[in-house]
């Protein structure tokens, strides 16, 4: 390729652009070139600007790449699923979509290719000739793309106590079932706010979840008093409910009314402890209670899942809890198969009968 070259005698100034970036007249000296230097030996600003434009235009023409318009991957995946299962309902269940949502995706693909891909009957669908040919072209590539997408980590915001007691011990089962699914746990506070900061889903203990999110109760439980064994038996044991006036109590900031609810259920709404200490982490509350620093008012599951044999339930009183563990996510997140897989697995684990 030929190049136009501009030099200055006092100090060398060379600007190389493809010859076709300058008009033929300028190339042969019949038209003032936009690259000419002024008499002072400096290239005018407008000349350099036009030179840059010439370079950019030339490079753009040389490196232009035709980008083909493609249908959404979700539409292709829906088409392949329906073709494999031969049933809209079975394909929708496999993709964790509603039947109308799946139908819309398939119809969008048919609109894109400009022809129907299925012969439809009342209760079944079957590929037509055009659909069979299209399936043969795209099917080998769809699974590879889907697997690549599903390798992306899912970020779950979760309380540290729930993660330690319930989630981490169960994750090996998820790994066996879904070896390509990676779960990243975020145990920072304010779990629900993490949904607006990049978390794919959240598990939070709260009374309710904002209506803008998809939310489902994982576990509610009952509020109990958790204490060290020394407060149940021995010289320092608390013999009566009124003895709580002599000791501090421990409350979680996300369950601030736990003691008030418990004392009302015990028939002593006016009972006041020696001191109230608030915590941001449930495991720290259990550790503090085990160390004799006070009585923790928490859910019965927190004690049941604890491995610290220093802890026991104090008194038999318990109260229905307004606080519950919730699973929450953006409504659109459930259409992503990794989030749906985690959601379904989690509720299957939480509702499974406890092993003896």
Are 91 and 132 in the same domain?
Answer: yes
Stronger pLDDT, 231 or 13, i.e. the higher one: 231
Residue 267 and residue 142 in one domain: no
For the CA atoms of 232, 235, 241, 244, what is the dihedral angle to 10 degrees? -100
Tokens of 34: 């936009």
CA dist., res. 311 & res. 326, Å (int)? 26
pLDDT tier, 94 (very low <50, low <70, confident <90, very high otherwise): confident
The answer on pLDDT for 192 being more than 70 is yes
Say yes or no to pLDDT of 28 above 60: no
Q: Which residue has the higher pLDDT, 331 or 27?
A: 331
Mean pLDDT of the chain: 81
Residues 331 and 208 in one domain: yes
User: Can you give the pLDDT at residue 147?
Assistant: 60
Q: Read off the pTM.
A: 0.60
Looking at the domain assignment, is residue 68 inside a domain?
no
Considering the domain architecture, whether residues 162 and 202 belong to the same structural domain is answered as: yes
Q: Are 261 and 223 in contact (CB under 8 A)?
A: yes
Same domain, 207 and 330: yes
The per-residue pLDDT for 93 is 82
pLDDT per residue as tens digits for the range 135-177:
998 888 876 776 665 556 789 999 999 999 999 999 999 999 9
Specify the pLDDT at position 63.
52
Same domain flag for 55 and 186? no
Strand partners, 297: 225
pLDDT score of 234 more than 60? yes
Q: How many domains does the chain have?
A: 4
For the segment 339-353, the average pLDDT, to the nearest whole number, is: 87
For the domain that residue 346 is a member of, what is the CATH number? 3.40.190.10
Residues in Cβ contact with 89 at an 8 Å cutoff, skipping those fewer than 6 apart = 99
Range of the domain at 302: 222-322
Q: Which two tokens stand for residue 119?
A: 């012969």
For 150, the token pair is: 């599903």
Distance CA 342, CA 154 (A): 9
3-state secondary structure labels for all residues of 187-240: CCCCCHHHHHCCCCEEEEEECCCCCCCEEEEEECCEEEEEEEHHHCCCCCCCCC
**206 plus 226 within the same structural domain:** no
254 and 212 part of one domain: no
């Amino acid at each position: 390729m030929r190049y136009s070259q501009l030099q200055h005698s006092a100090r060398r100034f060379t600007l190389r652009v493809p010859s076709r970036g300058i008009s033929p007249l300028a190339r042969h000296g019949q038209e003032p070139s936009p690259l000419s230097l002024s008499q002072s030996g400096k290239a005018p600003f407008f000349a350099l600007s036009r030179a840059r434009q010439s370079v950019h235009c030339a490079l753009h023409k040389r490196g232009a790449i035709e980008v083909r318009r493609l249908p959404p991957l979700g539409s292709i995946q829906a088409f392949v699923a329906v073709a494999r299962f031969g049933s809209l309902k079975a394909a929708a269940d496999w993709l964790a979509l509603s039947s109308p949502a799946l139908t819309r995706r398939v119809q969008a693909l048919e609109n894109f290719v400009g022809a129907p891909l299925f012969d439809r009957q009342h209760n079944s669908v079957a590929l037509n000739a055009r659909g069979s040919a299209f399936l043969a072209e795209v099917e080998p590539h769809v699974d590879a793309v889907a697997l690549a997408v599903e390798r992306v980590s899912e970020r779950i915001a979760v309380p540290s106590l729930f993660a330690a007691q319930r989630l981490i011990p169960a994750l090996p089962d998820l790994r066996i079932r879904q070896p390509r699914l990676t779960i990243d746990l975020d145990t920072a506070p304010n779990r629900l706010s993490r949904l607006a900061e990049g978390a794919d889903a959240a598990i939070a203990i709260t009374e309710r979840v904002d209506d803008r999110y998809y939310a489902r109760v994982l576990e509610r439980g009952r509020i109990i008093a958790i204490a060290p064994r020394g407060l149940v038996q021995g010289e320092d044991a608390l013999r009566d409910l009124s003895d709580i006036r002599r000791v501090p109590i421990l409350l979680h900031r996300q369950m601030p009314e736990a003691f008030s609810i418990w004392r009302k259920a015990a028939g002593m709404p006016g009972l006041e402890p020696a001191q109230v200490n608030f915590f941001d982490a449930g495991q720290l509350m259990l550790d503090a209670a085990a160390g004799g620093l006070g009585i923790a008012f928490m859910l019965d599951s927190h004690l049941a899942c604890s491995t610290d044999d220093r802890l026991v339930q104090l008194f038999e009183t318990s109260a229905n809890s307004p606080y519950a563990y919730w699973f929450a996510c953006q409504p659109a997140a459930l259409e992503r198969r990794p989030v749906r897989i985690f959601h379904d697995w989690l509720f299957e684990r939480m509702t499974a009968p406890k092993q003896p």
